[in-house]
Amino acid sequence: MKKNSIQTCVWILAVTVLLFESNAALAQAKKRTVQRNTTTPAKQPANNADNPYLQNNTNTNNTNPYTSSGTNTPAANNSNANTAQQKGNGCREYVNMPSNEGGLFDTVKVSLRPDDPTRNYEMVRDKTPLAYDFIREDDAVFKERVWSEIDIREKMNQVFGYASNEDNGNQRLISIIVQAVMNGDVTAFDASDDRFTTPLSKTDFMKTFGGGIDTVQRRDIDGQPTSICEIRPRQIVADSIYKFRIKEDYIFDKEASRLVRRIIGIAPMMKRYLSDGTTVGDDLYPLFWVYYPDIRATFAKVQVYNPKNNGARMSWDDLFESHMYSSYIVKTTMDNFKNQYFKDYIKDPLFRLLAGEKVKEKIFNYEQDLWAY
């Protein structure tokens, strides 16, 4: 009986020891689990906000994944951005592609063989504009400044949008102006500055037409995506610019007894667009201003398309000086104390056209009334 009691005590002691060790082990494991869950690894930022290696990167500061500073220039040495891009869409290599829009920033390609039997292009290259006659201040007895607009969608103005490539580039008027600015022949001024006080650098001028860049993953012949991404500059289409604003003066020179018209500046106009391509309102706004006397030398070397006879073509300078286009007045200094456009106080578009025609009639009648028959 005594022996059984001793064995029972030993078993109870052994079970107690085992239970104690088991509880201690469970407590230690629970403690390690709590420490593991509450400790953030050094390479794992909180909420994945600044980790460029994770696919679910929620950082919104850098809008361009393949640039180092959020700009539109590819970052060739940015390993973090390239790693993120590889995990995101499989791009391992980036290729800069030329724009496929055409018209504005196309490279001028000169013909390597004379394709004109008459060699007319040699005479055009040497043409210079005819100098203006000097008008004394005392001889300018009448002067009115008007702002008019040219709509190239009209039948008479369709030559302004002649989409043809020749030795001097594309033959659209907007392309001729843009090429002259890019070549440094003329200076572009700010869109809101028709007094030519704020010149634009070439970088700012490019931003006027630029619309960012597009990145497209290249695909093979079977339509499967590859590891190469094409980067194309996104620019506006040349045919989307279909209006030009002209700033000009009508001066009566009493010495010559005639009404003189002098163009001061030209501004291409376009609608404003959002990043998704939607337009902002129906109004058109100037993109930039060009001082017309500066660009006359360029216009004199470019011929205007003649749909009836390709051998009888005039220069753009002759076209503007002869006023061989259709336009309508949108603003004048005549009875305009608040310096407003017609659209600012005339809501009906038809009445705006009538107001412009009245201004033309007043200028014409002033000249005719000075003559005695």
Look at 215 and 1; give whichever has higher pLDDT.
215
Is the pLDDT at 226 greater than 70? The verdict is yes
pLDDT at 339: 94
- CA-CA distance, 255 to 30, in Å (whole number)? 106
| Least confident among 207-221, 239-253, 348-362 | 207-221
Q: Per the structure block, which two tokens stand in for 137? A: 């201040």
pLDDT at 197: 95
Is the pLDDT at 110 greater than 90? The verdict is no
Task: Decide if 3 is inside a domain.
Answer: no
pLDDT at 77: 39
Contact 132, 262 (CB under 8 A): yes
DSSP string across 255-309: TTTEEEEEEEEEEEEE--B-TTS-B-SS--EE--EEEHHHHHHHHHTSBPP-SS-
| Least confident among 99-103, 112-116, 154-158, 366-370 | 99-103
Top-ranked range on mean pLDDT: pick from 82-86, 305-309, 359-363:
359-363
- CA-CA distance, 2 to 78, in Å (whole number)? 84
- CA-CA distance, 347 to 343, in Å (whole number)? 6
Domain count, the chain: 1
Give the tens place of pLDDT for each residue, 311-321: 888 899 999 99
Task: Decide if 128 is inside a domain.
Answer: no
Q: How much is the average pLDDT of 250-275?
A: 90
pLDDT at 26: 66
Is the pLDDT at 337 greater than 50? The verdict is yes
Task: Decide if 341 is inside a domain.
Answer: yes
CB atoms within 10 A of CB 86: 13
Residue 100 banded pLDDT, cuts 50, 70, 90? low
What sign results for the dihedral spanned by CA atoms 54, 59, 64, 67?
negative
Q: Who's near 357: CB < 8 A, 6+ residues apart?
A: 328, 329
Is the pLDDT at 45 greater than 50? The verdict is no
Q: What is the dihedral of CA 29, 33, 36, 39, to 10 degrees?
A: -110
| Single-letter residue type at 334 | M
- CA-CA distance, 237 to 40, in Å (whole number)? 52
Look at 8 and 370; give whichever has higher pLDDT.
370
**Strand, helix or coil at 181?**
helix
Give the tens place of pLDDT for each residue, 136-161: 999 999 999 999 999 999 999 999 99
Please state the pTM of the whole predicted model: 0.69
Task: Decide if 284 is inside a domain.
Answer: yes
**Strand, helix or coil at 81?**
helix
CB atoms within 10 A of CB 74: 19
- CA-CA distance, 266 to 286, in Å (whole number)? 9
Domain that holds residue 173: 140-195+238-369
On the CB side of 297, CA atoms within 13 Å amount to 7
Give the tens place of pLDDT for each residue, 52-76: 333 333 333 433 333 333 334 333 3
Task: Decide if 225 is inside a domain.
Answer: no
pLDDT at 87: 40
Task: Decide if 264 is inside a domain.
Answer: yes
Q: With b meaning 16 or more CB within 10 Å and e meaning fewer, what string describes 281-306?
A: eeebebbbbbbbeebbebbbbbbbee
Average pLDDT, the chain: 79
Residue 282 banded pLDDT, cuts 50, 70, 90? confident
Task: Decide if 20 is inside a domain.
Answer: no
Is the pLDDT at 124 greater than 80? The verdict is no
Task: Decide if 114 is inside a domain.
Answer: no
pLDDT at 252: 95
